[in-house]
Chains A and B, each alone.
Chain A
Amino acid sequence: MAKYAMVLNYKNCINCKACEVACKEENGILLGASSHRIWVGVNEVAGEFPLLSIASSAFYPSQCQQCGNAPCQQVCPTKATYYDKNGIVQVDESKCILCSYCMIACPYDARYVDDRTMTVDKCNFCGDTRLLRGLKTTACQATCPTKVRTFGDMDDPTSEISEILRTKEYFTLKTSLGTEPKLFYLK
C-alpha cells in the first residue's frame, strides 16, 4: 500500500524525449503519432527575431496526472479503469469495452487506444513492468539526462518525494478542475 506520485523539476527539461523513448521500450508501446503515454509540451517562443522571450518557451514534460479524483475512473462503465492498491490509476484491458468515454473525460489528453488490444492505455507508473520487478524508479525517470522526475510514495513521510513536497513550492495542472493531480511541478 502506497500512494505513488511524481515530482517534476520541469525547469531541468531540455526536451530531449529520452523519457518518451524509454517509456515505449519499457512498456512496449506501439509506434505511431498518437501512441504515447508521455510527452513534452512546448510553447512556441513568443516575439520576433531577434527579440524573443526566453521565458515564453518552457518545456513541460507530462504524462497521466494520476489524479486522486480521476474523471477517467469515475466515468468508466465497467470499472476497467480503477485505482490499484498503490493509488495508481490503472486500466484492466480485459474489462475495457472501448467506449472511449475516459478519453473524453480526461482533461490532460493522457489516454489513447492501444491498437493491439483495442483498449485504452495510459501511463501506469510502469506498474506492470518496473514496479512489479521491485524497481523504485519509472523508466522515464531513470533515463532522464537532467533528472526531471522523482517518483515515490507520498504516504511515506520519509520518502524523498514527501520531503520535496514539504520543502519546495510546486503547482499542478488544471488544478481548478478538482482532479487532484499527483504530478507535481516544482516552481
Chain B
Amino acid sequence: MINNILPHKEITLKKIFSFEKTPFNIVMMIVTMILLAGFGAGFINYLMHGHHAYGVTREHPWGLLIAMYIFFVVSSTGLCIISSLGHVFHIKSFEFIGKRAIFGAIITIVSGFAVIGLEIGHPIRMAIYNTISPGFTSAIWGMGALYSVYLLLIVVEFIFLSRDEHKWSRLFGMGGLLVGIAAHSNLGAVFGFLVGRPMANGVFYPVYFILSAMITGCYLLFLMYGYRYKMEFTIEMEKFLMHLGRLLGLLIAILVFFEFWRFLTAIYGNLPERADTALYVLRSKSFWLGEVLLGMMIPFVVILYSKAKAIKAIIYASAAGMVGIFFMRYNLVHDTLIYPMQTMKTKEYQLVPTFIGYTPTITEWAIALGGIGICLAMYYIGENFFFLDPNKEDEYFKNYKAEE
C-alpha cells in the first residue's frame, strides 16, 4: 500500500540487521544502539522526574535540549535550502542531491522534535493549547506551527521526488523552502525578540540562522555523500562536491565577517549587558575552539588551501564542522542566558551574581545525543530502504537489483 504512495524496499527486522559487517558499520551500529538506548533511558527519567531531571534553573531555563533541537532544525533547514538549489532553482550541479538532502531534512527535524518534545514540560498540553489557544505573538508558537507545516510539505515533496513527479515535487519543494525559511527566521526571532537579552536581541539571529543553516546543510551533505560513496567518488560527483565546497567556503567567509561585526558592535559602546557578555564569550574556550576552530576555521582553511579540491579532507573537515555547529547552537542558548537578569544579591550570604553557569545533567546528555541516535537510525533505514539517489529513468530498479 505505502509502496503505492512512496516507493521503498521491503523493510523487515532481519533486513535491517543484515548489513555488511565492515568495522565501520559495526562501530556505527553499536554507537547508534547506545545512543538510542540513551534516549530511551533519558525518556524514562523524564517521565519519572519531569524537569527535575534537567540541569536548567530559574536563571538558566533553557539548556542542552533546546540547543540540540536548534542543532537539528538548523540542519534540516540547511539541507532543505541546499537541496532546493537544484530542484527548485535548477542549478544543474545541485540537481541530483535533491532526494538525499530532503530525506536528511526530514529525519533531522523529526529528531529535533523528539528532543524538544522532552524539553517541553507538558507536550500533550502543548498539542492541545497550541491549537485551541494559539499565542500569535509568540515567536515560539510561530516557529512551532511553521515547522510543523514545513515537515508536512517536505514529506510530501520527498514522496513526489521519490515518485519522480517533478512538477509536484517542485511545487512542494518551493512551499517547503519558503515555510522552512520562514520557520527558520522565526527561530532566529525566538532569540531576536528577547528585548531583555541584548546579546540576542535584534536582527542578527534571524539572518544568521539562514546563513548558518546553509553552512550546516553543506557540512551534512559532505558527510552524507562521504558515507554513501564510501569516500570513492566519480568525476561527476567530485565536480559537484567541489561546487559545494566553494559555496561552503564563501558562506563561512560571510559568517566570519558576520561574527566579527557582531562582536565589534556588541563591545563598542560598552553597554554592560552587551559588552560584558560579548567579552565574556570572547574569553571562553568553547567559542574559540568549538565555534571558531572546529566550526569555521578548519573547514575554511581546508577549502581555501585545496581550492575546494581535497574532497576527502573537506569531508573530514565537515565532521569537525558539525561538532563546531553543535557548539554554536549550545553557545547560542548559553550566551543568551549568561548575563544575569538579577544582578544584585538577594540573599545575605551569597556572592554577587556574576555570569550564570549551567551544566547539563546526564539525562539531558542522554536525550540530546539520543537525538543523534534517532537521526542515524533513520538515515540508515532511509539509505537502505528508500531511494535517495536520482532516478535516471529505469536505473531505479536496476540499481536496486544490483545492490541486492
Residues of A within 8 A of B121 (CB): 96-100, 113, 118-119
Q: Please count the residue pairs between chain A and chain B whose beta carbons lie under 8 angstroms apart in the complex.
A: 136
**Given known contacts A104-B337, A108-B341, A177-B195, is B51 in contact with A77 (CB within 8 Å)?**
no
Binds A, one of B139-147, B160-168, B174-182, B366-374: B139-147
How distant is A113 from chain B, measured CB to nearest CB, in Å? Answer: 7
Would you call B50 an interface residue if the criterion is a C-beta within 8 Å of the partner chain's C-beta atoms?
Answer: yes
Q: Which residue of B lies closest to A36 (CB)?
A: B346
Give CA–CA (A80, B122) in the complex, Å.
12
How distant is B336 from chain A, measured CB to nearest CB, in Å? Answer: 7
Would you call B13 an interface residue if the criterion is a C-beta within 8 Å of the partner chain's C-beta atoms?
Answer: no
**Given known contacts A77-B138, A95-B133, is B341 in contact with A107 (CB within 8 Å)?**
yes
How distant is A101 from chain B, measured CB to nearest CB, in Å? Answer: 5
How distant is B346 from chain A, measured CB to nearest CB, in Å? Answer: 4
**Given known contacts A42-B344, A100-B62, is B133 in contact with A78 (CB within 8 Å)?**
yes
Binds B, one of A68-76, A129-137, A157-165: A68-76
**Given known contacts A74-B137, A97-B123, A103-B61, is B344 in contact with A41 (CB within 8 Å)?**
yes
Residues of A within 8 A of B61 (CB): 100, 103-104, 113
Would you call B31 an interface residue if the criterion is a C-beta within 8 Å of the partner chain's C-beta atoms?
Answer: no
Binds A, one of B3-11, B52-60, B71-79, B239-247: B52-60
Which single member of B62, B123, B196 contacts A107 (CB below 8 Å)? Answer: B196
Residues of B within 8 A of A80 (CB): 129, 133
Give CA–CA (A41, B120) in the complex, Å.
31
Within 8 A of A (CB), among B309-351: 336-337, 340-348
The reply to whether B340 and A77 form a contact with Cβ atoms under 8 Å apart is no
Most buried by B among A43, A78, A80: A78
How distant is A59 from chain B, measured CB to nearest CB, in Å? Answer: 9
Within 8 A of A (CB), among B234-255: none
**Given known contacts A34-B57, A76-B138, is B341 in contact with A98 (CB within 8 Å)?**
no
Residues of B within 8 A of A78 (CB): 125-126, 129-130, 133-135, 141
Is chain B's interface secondary structure helix, strand, loop, or mixed overall?
A: loop
Would you call A141 an interface residue if the criterion is a C-beta within 8 Å of the partner chain's C-beta atoms?
Answer: no
Q: Which residue of B lies closest to A78 (CB)?
A: B129
How big is chain A's contact interface, by range?
A: 35 or more
The reply to whether B195 and A107 form a contact with Cβ atoms under 8 Å apart is yes
Q: Which residue of B lies closest to A77 (CB)?
A: B141
Give CA–CA (A118, B54) in the complex, Å.
13
Would you call B282 an interface residue if the criterion is a C-beta within 8 Å of the partner chain's C-beta atoms?
Answer: no
Residues of B within 8 A of A74 (CB): 135, 137-138, 193
How distant is A159 from chain B, measured CB to nearest CB, in Å? Answer: 30
Q: Which residue of A lies closest to B341 (CB)?
A: A109
The reply to whether A104 and B336 form a contact with Cβ atoms under 8 Å apart is yes
Give CA–CA (A44, B340) in the complex, Å.
16
**Given known contacts A97-B123, A107-B341, A109-B342, is B50 in contact with A75 (CB within 8 Å)?**
no
Would you call B274 an interface residue if the criterion is a C-beta within 8 Å of the partner chain's C-beta atoms?
Answer: no
How distant is A30 from chain B, measured CB to nearest CB, in Å? Answer: 13
Would you call B190 an interface residue if the criterion is a C-beta within 8 Å of the partner chain's C-beta atoms?
Answer: yes
Give CA–CA (A177, B121) in the complex, Å.
29
The reply to whether A105 and B120 form a contact with Cβ atoms under 8 Å apart is no
Would you call B197 an interface residue if the criterion is a C-beta within 8 Å of the partner chain's C-beta atoms?
Answer: yes
Would you call A84 an interface residue if the criterion is a C-beta within 8 Å of the partner chain's C-beta atoms?
Answer: no
The reply to whether B195 and A71 form a contact with Cβ atoms under 8 Å apart is yes
How distant is B162 from chain A, measured CB to nearest CB, in Å? Answer: 34
Would you call A24 an interface residue if the criterion is a C-beta within 8 Å of the partner chain's C-beta atoms?
Answer: no
Q: Which residue of A lies closest to B344 (CB)?
A: A41
Would you call B194 an interface residue if the criterion is a C-beta within 8 Å of the partner chain's C-beta atoms?
Answer: yes
**Given known contacts A34-B57, A99-B120, A119-B121, is B129 in contact with A44 (CB within 8 Å)?**
no
The reply to whether B134 and A77 form a contact with Cβ atoms under 8 Å apart is yes
Which single member of A33, A40, A42, A97 contacts B120 (CB below 8 Å)? Answer: A97
The reply to whether B344 and A106 form a contact with Cβ atoms under 8 Å apart is no
The reply to whether A79 and B52 form a contact with Cβ atoms under 8 Å apart is no
How distant is A78 from chain B, measured CB to nearest CB, in Å? Answer: 4
Given A34-B58, A104-B197, A109-B58, 17 extra CB contacts under 8 A: A39-B346, A40-B346, A44-B352, A60-B344, A71-B195, A75-B138, A78-B126, A78-B141, A97-B125, A99-B140, A100-B61, A101-B138, A103-B61, A105-B194, A106-B196, A113-B58, A113-B61
17 examples of A-B residue contacts, CB within 8 angstroms = A39-B342, A40-B346, A41-B344, A42-B344, A71-B193, A75-B137, A75-B138, A76-B135, A78-B126, A78-B135, A79-B133, A95-B125, A95-B129, A98-B121, A104-B336, A105-B196, A119-B121
State the A residues within 8 Å of B (CB).
Answer: 33-34, 39-44, 60, 71, 74-80, 94-101, 103-109, 111-113, 115, 118-119, 174, 177-179
State the B residues within 8 Å of A (CB).
Answer: 50-52, 56-59, 61-62, 119-123, 125-126, 129-130, 133-135, 137-141, 144, 190, 193-197, 336-337, 340-348, 352
